[in-house]
């Protein structure tokens, strides 16, 4: 399988970072229609993963409409997230470049790890999500 996501800027003095997401993967996930029940189940799995790391938030995945595409990953109401830089729509997807997510309020390595774990879980479950 090709590289689907890649963290960048993890070597900086603070803990903020970004993720580049393969455009073809993003288009596949946007094209996949997913029932709300499956999106909810994915959020439960993400919440369980985060609880193991010490976070508690009921909906860590922000799905774009009724698709398998996640536009944001959240650790709680304290403002720690990793979100898509561009607004989702035809314009950002028309360019031939990876989609980029940027972090916010990542103040510890544990925050960065938890967000990357959420991205990894989403990618690992992508085939199940695409089947709907």
CA pair distance 35, 98, nearest whole angstrom: 26
- DSSP structure string for 49-63: HHHHHT---S--EEE
Give the number of other CB atoms < 10 A from CB of residue 70.
Answer: 27
What is the torsional sign of CA 22, 28, 31, 37? negative
The single residue listed with the structure tokens 């650790």 is: 75
Residue % of the chain over a pLDDT of 90 = 65
User: Whole-prediction pTM value?
Assistant: 0.90
What is the β-pairing status of strands 61-63 and 70-74?
antiparallel
* Model confidence pLDDT, tens digit, residues 27-81: 999 999 999 999 999 999 999 999 999 998 889 999 999 999 999 999 986 789 9
């Amino acid at each position: 399988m090709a590289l689907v996501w890649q963290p960048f800027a993890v070597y900086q003095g603070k803990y903020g970072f970004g993720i580049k997401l393969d455009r073809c993967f993003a288009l596949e996930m946007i094209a996949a229609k997913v029932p709300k029940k499956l999106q909810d189940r994915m959020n439960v799995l993400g919440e369980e993963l985060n609880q193991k790391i010490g976070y508690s938030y009921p909906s860590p995945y922000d799905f774009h409409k009724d698709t398998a595409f996640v536009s944001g990953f959240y650790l709680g109401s304290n403002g720690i997230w990793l979100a898509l830089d561009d607004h989702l729509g035809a314009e950002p997807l028309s360019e031939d470049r990876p989609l980029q997510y940027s972090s916010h309020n990542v103040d510890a390595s544990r925050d960065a790890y938890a967000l990357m774990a959420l991205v990894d879980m989403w990618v690992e479950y992508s085939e199940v999500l695409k089947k709907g």
